Copies of this chain bind each other. A is one copy, B any other.
Amino acid sequence: MTLSEQKLSKSATDNAYLLTSVFSELNGAVLNVPAGKVLAAQGEDVRSVFRIDRGFVRICVYTEDGARRIVGFSGAGSIIGLDQLNHPSWNVAVEAVSHCVVVAVPKAFVNRQIEADCRVRDGAMRCLQDEIEQREAHLVMMGILPSSERVHAFLSTFAKLRAREGFLVLPMCRRDIGDYLGLSMETVSRSFTALREMGRIELKGAERFRIVEEQDASVDHRAA
């Protein structure tokens, strides 16, 4: 696993399909969540597990002194809360970054399905394993990369996750990115500028970006 392959939620969605049967609209409520709304507050009782069907959420941790860290972003297809099934209350907050459509399935129902259906159990374990992998990749990145490289890795991952050509819209603001990458809002902004000036990304306004594919500097051109 290279740093640039660090995941936001890609393989999580690859495995989440194993849980399709559980997150049917028959088993839970379909919620329409406006941007900024809190889906689950830190400390609140865990009642449901969510599947994101549209939009983007951030997973936040608030510390005693009011600081916020974002430990992950998740987009359509991701399942949120499998790691909370044995907790009485949420130890993270789940907040909509953009307008979201979410299926909320009662925790007890999810637990029963895990008990009853070995495909569901397998899917849930794979999702948890993916989450561990994501957190570890995040941790490694935070420890090693300088600011601009972190921002570039973040944008690359985001772009790969979307796997679409052309400019992409970033749903989250600079502060969110900063809280995710362990940088100040200003440093994130400066990194955007630096990457643009280096020709490694293109920007349209503050929200739209495109990764410029770069030659791998480690490739030895003498071979050509």
Provide 24 A-B residue pairs closer than 8 Å at the C-beta atoms, listed in order of the A residue.
Answer: A2-B63, A3-B63, A3-B64, A61-B136, A63-B140, A63-B144, A67-B144, A69-B139, A69-B140, A71-B140, A83-B128, A83-B132, A84-B129, A86-B125, A86-B126, A86-B129, A91-B136, A114-B121, A131-B132, A132-B135, A135-B135, A139-B139, A139-B142, A142-B182
Interface residues on A, range: 35 or more
Of B118, B128, B138, which one neighbours A129 at CB under 8 angstroms? Answer: B128
Q: Convert A96-126 into 0s and 1s, putting 1 for each residue whose CB lies closer than 8 angstroms to a CB of B.
A: 0000000000000000001100100100111
A81 to chain B, nearest CB (A): 11
Of B64, B69, B92, B128, which one neighbours A2 at CB under 8 angstroms? Answer: B64
Of B1, B82, B121, B138, which one neighbours A91 at CB under 8 angstroms? Answer: B1
Q: Which of chain B's residues have a CB closer than 8 A to the CB of A83? A: 128-129, 132-133
CB closest chain-B residue, reference A118: B115
A85 to chain B, nearest CB (A): 7
User: Once bound together, how far apart are the Cα atoms of A106 and B143, in whole Å?
Assistant: 33
Q: How many copies does the complex hold?
A: 2
Q: Convert A56-89 into 0s and 1s, putting 1 for each residue whose CB lies closer than 8 angstroms to a CB of B.
A: 0000010110010101000000000011111100
Given A125-B128, A136-B135: A143 touches B69 (CB 8 Å cut-off)? yes
Q: Which of chain B's residues have a CB closer than 8 A to the CB of A129? A: 82-87, 128
User: Once bound together, how far apart are the Cα atoms of A126 and B114, in whole Å?
Assistant: 13
User: Once bound together, how far apart are the Cα atoms of A139 and B131, in whole Å?
Assistant: 13
User: Once bound together, how far apart are the Cα atoms of A28 and B156, in whole Å?
Assistant: 42
A188 to chain B, nearest CB (A): 13
Q: Which of chain B's residues have a CB closer than 8 A to the CB of A125? A: 85-86, 114, 124-125, 128
The 5 closest A-B pairs by CB, nearest first: A135-B135, A128-B128, A143-B182, A83-B132, A69-B140
Q: Which of chain B's residues have a CB closer than 8 A to the CB of A84? A: 129
